[in-house]
A and B are shown apart, each in its own frame.
Chain A
Amino acid sequence: MTNSIDDIADFAQAFFVIGTNTTENHPVIGMRIRQAVRQRGAKLIVADPRKIDLTDFATLHLRHKSGTDIALINGLMHIILANGWEDKDFIKERTEGFEEFKAVVEEYPPERVAEITGVAVEQLQQAAEILAQEKPAAVLWAMGITQHTTGVANVLSLANLQMLLGNMGVPGGGANPLRGQNNVQGACDLGGLPNVYPGYQKVTNPEFQGKFAQAWGLPEDQLSLDVGLTATEMMPLAAEGKLKAIHILGEDPLMSEPDTNHIRKAMETIELVILQEIFPSETAPYADILLPGASFAEKSGTFTNTERRIQLVRKAIESPGEAKPDWWIISELAKKILASGERQVKGAEFSAWDYHDTGEIMDEIAALTPIYAGVSYQRLLNGETLQWPVKDQDHPGTPILHVGQFSRGKGRFSPVEHIPPAEVPDKEYPLLLSTGRVLYHWHGGQMTRRSQGLLKIYPQPLIEVSDLDAEKIGLNGSKRVRVSSRRGSIEAEALVTDRVPPGMVYANFHFPGAGANELTIAALDPVAKIPEYKVCAVKIEAV
């Protein structure tokens, strides 16, 4: 998020919520939006093909067709420009690329947009008016925007909107992706990506290659200048036998990757699978070596939340049996690999792996990661709440990004065009499947399915089906359906509901055997390599 939860909850005059089912996936942010709407009359525009809980609180629900986000946003910007509602000063002083961008947006008049998106011209007009009048407006999104083959373009499109309205760098505004996991922000920040070292320092830049080689005690050429593989690229290579080993820390590809059948084949083929886990997950049957890790309550360290806030995690209980904190396991493994063989590290400040606690690791992070440079356990234990970038030990952190200036200097408008999803419904597979989570479960479900109350209140996967489609297939009393795509098939109970429009079904990926990813397509965004979880073609039958 460019902004903080508090500032958007307290100062946004309008919320544009697109592709986030906030009350179920980020419940406390959902609460804050409801409060803002009810207590201080903030306007709420929800753009979502589904009815979600927030649509009950919304001034306007734009029920656009899945995979038409760019057309929708371009359409809103077209109306804003046509009426001269854009923030001319902001555009002039703080941005570049406006003319090229404008030329593309001009191709999206309301009538054409209504045709692509299915949203009435009148609603487009109303939404544009709200955004023009209610300043600042905060844009919030989640995987409903990113999990498309146009994921990156969707995000650029929302950035365009916020620059056009001058809503960047101010309390109550901003471009705010809501991160779906406790420390997905931190995993990205600290080098858990194939293209960057910690702090988004590019691996292709020889300067950073040199910096890390020196810090870690290696000759420069021992660190690769080539971007590595994403998770979604590793699996196809594994299936071809080209990826020989994989070391997995607390992830469950069998539940969370697209096209589960293909993942099974890949995991079966890999020569060596090392898995660090707290449960025998769906991935465990494919592991050669299973290393028991510690849960969040059994170790101390930090997580970074969706608003870039670094917060302490404190050990409360001991792990069962011989299970160990994951930082200990990784360190011991590293020491053992380095103990022999040709690849040796030596003599540098951070070449060794002799950590006594996670505080020492944070000191190493701070020394090598400019956005975490001022982070230390001492400050956190003193009660400081730090949002990166924290430039040095005296820097208070950065609650709002891009104040006065964008981090790249001028904000660049990106002309983006509507491109349809990779697989759209056809005669054989006439329905559109979208996937996601429900309030009572979380991701692959390893934790929530082992939580008594959560499992009791939501014990089995439910497939959302519209009344019309239920009637078409003659759903009987037992209401079980089989959903099939070109890649696989699942059976589960149907929830006949108006939450999905006719022609669309919605499934979650919390339950093994009936997980949505048996059906999803591994079509990727060309830049981010994110799979198109929000659109693929399926058919349903009553069973």
Chain B
Amino acid sequence: MGKVNFILDGKEIQAEKGDTILQAARRLGIYIPVLCDHPALPPEGACRICLVEIEGQRALHPSCTYPVSEGMVVETNTERIRAARKFNLELLVSDHPLDCMTCDATGDCLLQDLAYEYDVTEDRFEGTKHHYSVNDPNPFIQVDRNKCILCRRCVRACREVNGVEAISVFYRGFSAYIGFGADSSMDDSPCEFCGSCVEVCPTGALWPKQSLGQGRPWQVEKVRTTCPYCGVGCQLILEVKDNKIVKVDSAWEGPSNHGWTCVKGRFGYDFTSHADRLSHPRVRKYLLDGKKKPTASKRDPEKEANPWQWVEVDWETALGIAADRMRQIRDDHGPGSIGFLTSAKCLNEENYLMNKLARQVIGTNSIDHCARL
């Protein structure tokens, strides 16, 4: 790739040939506001927020689609540009609910940020507002078309990233809206619920249902970690509030996922707070009583005083019994009589310790896990 020299806000700049003005500015850390553009998606040129002035050109041009050329002179922040951006924002806001006080996206909304930056209030334009119902029945994603600004980020993410084309814009002009499949609900479309659309939505139009009302960006702690499902190893950001995961974002820095993930990674985290979680060590009653293990036909955990009943105990007791029984079986029958199943779901460090437990402490190589299963 060759280089191109041009002037941006009075400074001589070198850019890569083929860059758009926006890409060149981004590389140099020069801020141009955007709504429809997203660095991970192909440019769209829909929102006209990233407008710039190019010397010798009468109209303002969207910097997200305009390529740099040798010697061009570009201004990104003149009065004229600011007025045009504000005008476009005012048009968007005139048909947008002003419910920021209760909107989940508050603090994580590009439209809100830009309205603030450009001092946009509701009273410039009055006219018909859309009143869509918010009732897509799918279990994962709330679709609030009232908050959609038709930037088509979701359309591009679905088509270009996931390759699915479940989302498209139906109709034109004021009638235009985002729809799914053949203008149906999300779960009646080819959607795979990877949630890439949610990840790139600049407003609260697409939001995880599980996260509604669960906390604002400044109320949550964000922790980057690795997904617990398949072996791709997506990097995820867990949003935590009151010791509960309330939302999962896919991390742009993830070397194997580059900002994307799947339905399990993004929405399948609530098992962590499921009521079934085991919270206390348990042993069968016969172990506490020092009795023999009941034969299979005599095991009834539901029956009171049955030797197969579970009894909650403290760690000292549970581990003491476990250690005594293991040692006894090893001494009576030899280390070969004990097997270990370690876990493809647990940490590297834990797998190493299971290997050390089997080999060093017990003296057997009979350790395996479900790699084959």
Contacts and interface: CB of A to CB of B under 8 A. Distances in A.
Nearest to A383: B253
Interface in A153-167: none
A316 B240 contact: yes
Which of B221, B244, B326, B335 counts the most chain A CB atoms within 10 A?
Answer: B326
A253 to B, nearest CB: 7
Interface stretch (A132-140, A224-232, A406-414, A488-496): A224-232
A181 B254 CA distance: 17
B348 A303 contact: yes
B41 to A, nearest CB: 12
A184 B344 contact: yes
Contacts of A64: none
B284 interface: yes
Contacts of B113: none
A316 B246 CA distance: 11
Interface residues of B, number: 116
Contacts of B161: 31, 35
B283 A289 contact: yes
Interface in B240-280: 240, 243-245, 255-257, 260-264, 267-274, 276-280
Contacts of A234: 339, 341, 366, 368
A280 B139 CA distance: 25
A289 B281 CA distance: 8
A313 B243 contact: no
Interface in A1-37: 5-6, 23, 25-29, 31, 34-35, 37
Given A190-B352, A313-B347, A317-B244, 10 more contacts: A31-B194, A180-B231, A191-B359, A198-B352, A279-B271, A288-B325, A295-B272, A323-B279, A333-B322, A447-B271
B92 interface: no
Interface string B336-372: 0111111111111111111111111111111111111
A48 interface: no
Contacts of B357: 247, 330, 333-334
A120 interface: no
A429 interface: no
A521 to B, nearest CB: 13
Interface in B1-20: none
B302 to A, nearest CB: 11
For chain A, the bracket of interface size reads 35 or more
Given A333-B357, A442-B230, A182 B344 contact: yes
14 contacts: A27-B261, A189-B348, A191-B359, A195-B365, A280-B276, A280-B278, A290-B282, A303-B347, A313-B226, A315-B223, A330-B350, A341-B331, A439-B264, A450-B274
B353 A327 contact: yes
B263 A442 contact: no
Contacts of A230: 368, 372
Contact of A216 (B323, B330, B335, B360): B360
B255 to A, nearest CB: 5
B329 interface: yes
A244 interface: yes
B363 A361 contact: no
A243 B346 CA distance: 24
Nearest to B275: A450
Most chain B Cβ neighbours within 10 Å, of A203, A303, A457:
A303
Interface string B169-200: 00000000000000000010000111000000
A452 B329 CA distance: 42
Interface string A319-358: 1111111110111111011111111010000010000001
A272 B230 CA distance: 31
Interface stretch (A90-98, A121-129, A304-312, A472-480): A304-312
Contacts of B263: 27, 439-440, 453-454
B349 A332 contact: no
B348 A181 contact: no
A389 interface: no
B215 interface: no
Contacts of A529: 372
Given A242-B337, A249-B354, A330-B354, A278 B278 contact: yes
B293 interface: yes
Contacts of B303: none
A271 interface: yes
A343 B345 CA distance: 30
A5 B232 contact: yes
A333 B301 contact: no
Given A28-B232, A297-B225, A317-B244, A187 B343 contact: yes
Given A231-B368, A317-B244, A305 B323 contact: no
| Most interface-central of B227, B274, B356 (chain A CB within 10 A) | B356
Contact of B361 (A183, A231, A338): A338
Given A231-B372, A439-B192, A186 B351 contact: yes
A248 interface: yes
A247 B326 contact: yes
Contacts of A533: 373
Nearest to A223: B359
Interface in B215-242: 221, 223-235, 238, 240
A457 B354 CA distance: 36
A311 B233 contact: yes
Contacts of A279: 271, 274, 276-278
B207 interface: no
B351 A5 contact: no
Interface string B26-42: 00000000000000000
B370 A297 contact: no
A469 to B, nearest CB: 26
Contacts of B187: 457
B310 interface: yes
A526 interface: no
B319 interface: yes
**Centre residue among B221, B279, B315, B370 by max chain A CB count within 10 A:** B370
Most buried by A among B238, B287, B341: B341
